[in-house]
Structure 1
Amino acid sequence: MSDRDAAARDVVQKLARGSLLSRLTGSRKQPLRLIAVPRDHVHGDRRRGDALLAGKLLHGAETLPLADLDFAAIGTDGPVAGYLQGFAWLRDLAAAASRERGARLAEAIVGRWLIAHGTRVDDAWRPDLWGERILFWSAYAPYILSSTEAGYRSALLNTMARGARHLEANADKAPAGLRRVTAWSGAVAAALLVQGGVARVARAESGLGRALASAQSDDGGLISRAPYEQVDLVDRLGLLRSAYFAAKQSPPESFETAAAAALSALHGVILGDGGLSTWQGGNAGDPARLAAIVDGCGMRARPLRQPRGWGFHRLSALGTVAIIDAAPPPTPKAAPWGSASTLAFELSDGTQRLVINCGGPKPLPPQMPAELAAALRTTAAHSTLTLADTNSTAIQADGLLGKGVTDVVIDRSEDHDSSLLEASHDGYARGFGLLHRRVLKLGNDGKELRGTDELRASGRRKGKGAIPFAIRFHLAPGIEPTITADGMGAILRSPGAPPWNFRSRGTPIAVEESLSVDGLGIPHRTMQLVINGEAAPAGADVHWQFRRSS
């Protein structure tokens, strides 16, 4: 027996200690059954699956020991607890273990959950957790229902049915957005797959339709405007599509339309390295996981280039990709963690990121002080203009977004030579009497991105003297900037792309320290280019250019 097998056996024995199965036998009724088992086409993470077999649940940079696992003590708050309670880790277990081998561990953990939460409604019955749980329990039923113990099987299936009924009564109580969609997706899946649920399908589909209508903008993006949540939306809808097909049912046309739009919006915020563009306190994530979800969701869509409510415009040409935030921030209700990032952009050349935002820990456990995580939501942590060291949208003492950007005016055009985006926001109009206008022009050969940042009097109030501003271009890890002799430019060298030259017309640039948060939520030191200047009451213009050397 290998060391890994011995470790897995030891964990299972500890989890099953105390006559676990006998404590689950509480009903004399014949157990329910699943009429079909959906197939999850998304491949899990083998490394995390191996860790599960060795007795450790990995989530981001955090590790949760599984020996003596106590669901009640862990609770439901925080990323690790949510990951454990939602059972999405079953996907990773299946990537590392056969059904026979993985079932021993999976059933022991499910058994612990039933003991802690199965007999009463508590925080673990939160609608979004139940929705996610049903989606993964049904997809990985062979791993959690292999036991020959009738008491265990009956307890699990009856609890699953109770969870479905709980969702039908409580799914609309989940916050609008991803959580409510997840809750109703679980309700629909249970109605399709659990014996006797056919009569409840129409009601659950109606609830899901309402949830999607309130969660998505008309272009498919979530109202939270958070790319990392968009990944989970596509994943949830992909799992539900599999439930429909397993039950030999066709998804409603409205559902298919919403799911395809969600995928298109997600494609629109993926940079050349396959990771996410970093907005609303999120990071690039794991490109392999993102590719697995996109490839396995069962849908196909082109990247959304000209969004509406989603707000992230995409310029691309021959491997060069720029993604621009051209919309007001999300409302505090939709995204309590939203960022003041209007008119910021990110840029990649092939698989090499060049210009980035600092990012943040979402959705993983934070590996940084709370003060730093809060600072990463500011305008200065994004590649855009900051006026008088002030956020374009205020971040209040309670952490919620306050007054600031309410209107973003956009004009976009394409021709044979370039793609042009002009956008302006009013975030500084109230406090300084100025509008910020940014123009980005990407050549169709992908070799040049020209930019202009303008400050113009808004007419709402007169400015009082010169106002300092800073235009920041945060650089990806590994980018080495070298200032040119005249101080007006920089050569940007990287391990994954040809050198790029940056030039500022008539305004000196500086190199300062910055940081970037990686896909595990860990911050790393990097650099930024900064153009400092002062705006007169009438405004100011700054022109700049990125150009690839070959």
Structure 2
Amino acid sequence: MSDDKLGRLAKGSLVSRLFGSGKQPLRLVAVPRDHVLGDRTRGDALLAGRLRLGSAELALVDVDFAGVGTRGPLARELHGFSWLRDLGASASREKGARLAEAIVGRWLIAHGSRPDDAWAPDLWGERILFWTAYAPYILSSRDSGYRSALLNTLARGARHLDANADKAQPGLPRITAWAGALVAALTLQGAQKRLSHAESGLMRALAAAQFEDGGLMTRSPEQQMMLVDRLGLVRAAYFAAKQGLPDALDNAASAALAALHGVTMGDGALSSWQGGNPGNPARLAALIEGCGLRSRPLRQARGWGYQRLSALGTIIVVDAAPPPSQRMAATGCASTLALEISDGIQRLVVNCGGPGAVPTDLSEDLVLALRSTAAHSTLTIGDSNSTAILPDGTLGKGVADVTVDRSEDNDCSRIEASHDGYVKGFSLIHQRRLSLGNDGKEVRGEDRLTPKGRRKIKESAPFAIRFHLAPGVEATITADGMGALLRSSGAPPWNFRCRGAMLQVEESIFIDGYGRMVPTLQLVVVGEVSAIGGEIAWQFRRSS
């Protein structure tokens, strides 16, 4: 961005006139160090005057915060200032500060004088996390009026959070709000007296949103990654302030990372659950490397619900829990007993996924369809969802009870799980049995439907077991029509076989880490089931 454009963007003297320089500014007593490396590509775009997120872009020259508003992912990205991390990855302090201070100055002019929509507790929490971590980029100015305005506004925001953080939506928004309040108490002059209050608030927010096994009750891997990020920045603030991290907070952070590891596939990106997609593997790797936490993948998750099997490079992740409650997640998915499989860096079986929290060009109808059971690698009966998705997008009745049993021996690891989502409509329980050989070469499965309840099927009902294939995986049906050869560039060939139904190969789609739709294929095992139930066996086996 040119010097004259930066000058028009900053208008630092206007900040001085609006806020004055007579009031003695506060100071930061500690500056946390963010060890998570940002995205240099996004940082370069920022330096060129563009803020990018997903399919959306915002010009920063003469940016009007009031005009941008606070609704939508891109607007919230701008107001939260998490993009400072990407700027820090691309620009030196001197070069980056000119842009960062210009945009902060604009924000102060638009929103610094009085509370408004930009003062939402979760936005203030995120803003404090990144303003303090990147203080060298936003507090290098020689304009004392600007510095005074920024620090005093930050202090007002912290006091605002002390009183309003609990008004944020339960889950990650409330955790973010209290995380910001806590970091302010650790880093801002005179705020240490509020440390205990902020610690208690954050622990309450975590207890209300996080299962005992560390996973968020939204069951969203994308939000889980953000949770780990938030807690990593809080830890950095404790270290910067030379304060001891409470054991309960340290344990919650470690458990959160273990849950995140549990839904990571062999390519280092996330598995696709609850409307999310794999994301950027480099971003996830940078977060795990820089968050300061170390933990092993959570294999058996009761609350979080994602069961993990792994052997010599083969990874399976299974959704073995009901969808999240409407209170915690407005757009949950009917994905119970779906699975994903990867062989090394090559994904084999996936779910279709969704755009997650980034702007997208996908239609509303498609995003809604991507939440259906059929968009996941599991069984459907009568082309219906295991948990109803109502016309307004909320989840209705369906899966309420999920049973899970795991076992391991010298030959393989096993999971046996069932759900009751089809009892009301078809009086059938869906049970899925999985085993992964300890050599990683064989995945055996069985989908069993057993009768339960009074509403019997009169004659029969169609069923389909879908295995959505990752982009780049080619499927060739065998001569007998009961199997397929799966070829890809990233792994040896795999053979698929089924018994008890017929196999078809159909078109499918996959939402990639940028929220874009990619065409792919799916294996579909089809048949009919009667009131007495039935079972279908299948197998994936690596050729070498």
Q: Same fold (TM over 0.5)?
A: yes
Which residue, 261, 266, 284 being the options, matches 1:272?
266
Q: Does 1:236 align with 2:230?
A: yes
Residue 460 of structure 2 aligns with which residue? Answer: 466
Name the SS for the 1:181 alignment partner: helix
Q: Which amino acid aligns with 2:370?
A: L
Q: What is the CA–CA distance in structure 2 between the aligned matches of 1:49 and 1:341, rounded to whole Å?
A: 36
Which residue of structure 2 lines up, in the alignment, with residue 54 of structure 1?
Answer: 48
Structure 2, unmatched stretches of 5+, are none
2:38 to 25, 32, 44: 44
CA–CA separation in structure 1 for the residues paired with 2:12 and 2:175? 38
SS of structure 1 residue aligned to 2:440:
coil
1:225 and 2:219 correspond: yes
**Contact preservation (8 Å) 1:344, 1:383:** yes
The counterpart of 1:424, out of the listed 395, 418, 442, is 418
Q: Residues of 2 paired with 1:130 and 1:217: CA distance?
A: 25
1:358-373 correspondence runs (5 A) = 358-373=352-367
Q: 1:65 aligns with which of 56, 59, 64?
A: 59
Give the match for residue 84 of structure 1.
Answer: 78
- Kept in 1, the 8 Å contact 2:36–2:290? The answer is yes
Deviation of 1:18 after TM superposition, in Å, equals 8.3
Deviations 1:316-352 (A, max 9, x none): 0000000000000000111101100000000000000
Is contact 2:418-2:431 (8 Å) kept?
yes
Kindly report structure 1 stretches of 4+ aligned residues shifted beyond 6 Å: none
Q: Is the 8 Å Cα contact of residues 475 and 527 (structure 1) preserved in structure 2?
A: yes
How far apart in 1 are the matches of 2:159 and 2:314? 49
- Once the two structures are TM-superposed, the CA of residue 22 in structure 1 deviates from its matched residue by 3.2
> What percent of counterpart residues are identical?
67
Give the Cα separation in 1 of the matches to 2:40 and 2:275. Answer: 27
Query: In 1, Cα distance between the equivalents of 2:498 and 2:17?
Result: 71
The alpha carbon displacement at 1:9 in A equals 2.6
**1: distance between equivalents of 2:430 and 2:501?**
18
Which residue of the other structure, out of 534, 537, 544, is the alignment partner of 2:531?
Answer: 537
* Separation in 2, partners of 1:27, 1:394: 59
Report the AA paired with residue 443 of structure 2. L
Query: After superposition, what is the alpha-carbon deviation per residue over 1:375-421, rounded to whole angstroms, capped at 9, x for unaligned?
Result: 00000000000110100000111111110000001111011110000
Distance 1:261 1:10 in 2: 49
1:202, distance to aligned residue in structure 2 (A): 0.3
Matches within 5 A, 1:89-100: 89-100=83-94
Q: Give the alignment partner of residue 127 of structure 1, picking from 121, 129, 133.
A: 121
- Asked if structure 2 preserves the Cα contact closer than 8 Å seen for 1:226 and 1:279, the reply is yes
Corresponding residue of 2:520: 526
Question: Are 1:185 and 2:179 matched, yes or no?
Answer: yes
Question: Does structure 1 residue 547 correspond to structure 2 residue 538?
Answer: no
Q: Does 1:158 align with 2:174?
A: no
Matching of residues 137-176 of structure 1 within 5 Å:
137-176=131-170
Q: Secondary structure at the match of 1:367?
A: coil
Unaligned runs of 5+ in 1: 1-6
Partner in structure 2 of residue 254 of structure 1: 248
- The residue type equivalent to 2:284 in the other structure is L
| d(CA) in 2 for partners of 1:190, 1:484 | 63
Does the residue aligned with 2:431 lie in a helix, a strand or coil?
strand
Q: Is the 8 A contact 2:12 2:102 kept in 1?
A: no
Shift of 1:460: 4.2
Shift of 1:78: 1.1
| One-letter amino acid matched to 1:66 | L
Q: Could you say which residue in structure 2 is the equivalent of 1:495?
A: 489
State the distance in 1 between where 2:316 and 2:276 align: 18
Kindly provide the amino acid, as one letter, of the partner of residue 274 in structure 2: Q
Corresponding letter in the other structure for 1:129: L
Which residue of the partner structure matches residue 245 of structure 1?
A: 239
Alpha carbons 2:502, 2:527 under 8 Å: kept: no
Q: CA deviation at 1:16?
A: 2.2
Aligned counterparts of 1:86 and 1:138: Cα–Cα separation in 2: 12
Q: Residue type matched to 1:208 in 2? A: L
Asked whether the 8 Å contact 2:319–2:338 carries over to 1, the reply is yes
Query: 1:270 aligns to what SS in structure 2?
Result: coil
Partner of 2:400: 406
For 1:241, give the aligned amino acid.
R
Tell me the equivalent position of 1:448: 442
Report the Cα distance in structure 2 between the residues aligned to 1:137 and 1:122, rounded to whole angstroms. Answer: 19
Are 1:322 and 2:319 an aligned pair?
no
Separation (CA, whole Å) in 1 of partners of 2:290 and 2:11: 37
Q: Are 2:501 and 1:507 equivalent residues in the alignment?
A: yes
CA contact (8 A) 1:24 1:114 kept: no
Q: How far apart are 1:29 and its partner, in Å?
A: 1.8
Distance 2:162 2:367 in 1: 36
In the TM superposition, what is the alpha-carbon distance from 1:17 to its structure 2 partner?
Answer: 4.4
- Asked whether 1:386 is paired with 2:380, we answer yes
> 1:11 & 1:313 partners in 2: Cα distance?
52
- Matched residues in 2 for 1:492 and 1:332: separation? 38
The answer to whether 1:479 aligns with 2:479 is: no
2:451 paired residue among 457, 473, 476: 457
Per-residue Cα deviation, 1:164-190 (whole angstroms, up to 9, x for no partner): 000000000111111111000000000
Q: Residue 8 of structure 1 contacts residue 53 of structure 1 at CA under 8 Å; is this kept in 2?
A: no
Query: In 2, distance between residues paired with 1:372 and 1:401?
Result: 16
Rounded to whole Å, the distance in 2 between the matches of 1:462 and 1:245 is 62
Look up the equivalent residue of 2:353 and give its one-letter code.
G
Residue correspondences, number: 544
CA distance in 2, matches of 1:139, 1:31: 19
- How far is 1:68 from its partner? 1.4
Aligned twin of 2:102: 108
Q: Contact 1:478–1:495 at 8 Å: present in 2 too?
A: yes
Say whether the 8 Å CA contact 1:453–1:541 is kept in structure 2. yes
RMSD: 1.0
Mapped contact 1:21–1:149 kept (Cα < 8 A): no
Q: Distance in 1 between matches of 2:513 and 2:268?
A: 12
Structure-1 separation of matches of 2:15 and 2:351: 51
Correspondence for 2:14 = 20
Q: Which whole-Å deviations, capped at 9, do the CAs of 1:300-320 have from their partners, x for residues lacking one?
A: 000000001100000000000
d(CA) in 2 for partners of 1:508, 1:399: 33
Determine if the alignment matches structure 1 residue 396 to structure 2 residue 390.
yes
3-state SS of 2:439 partner: coil
Alignment partners' CA distance in 2, 1:162 and 1:56: 29
In 1: Cα distance, 2:327 partner to 2:279 partner:
24
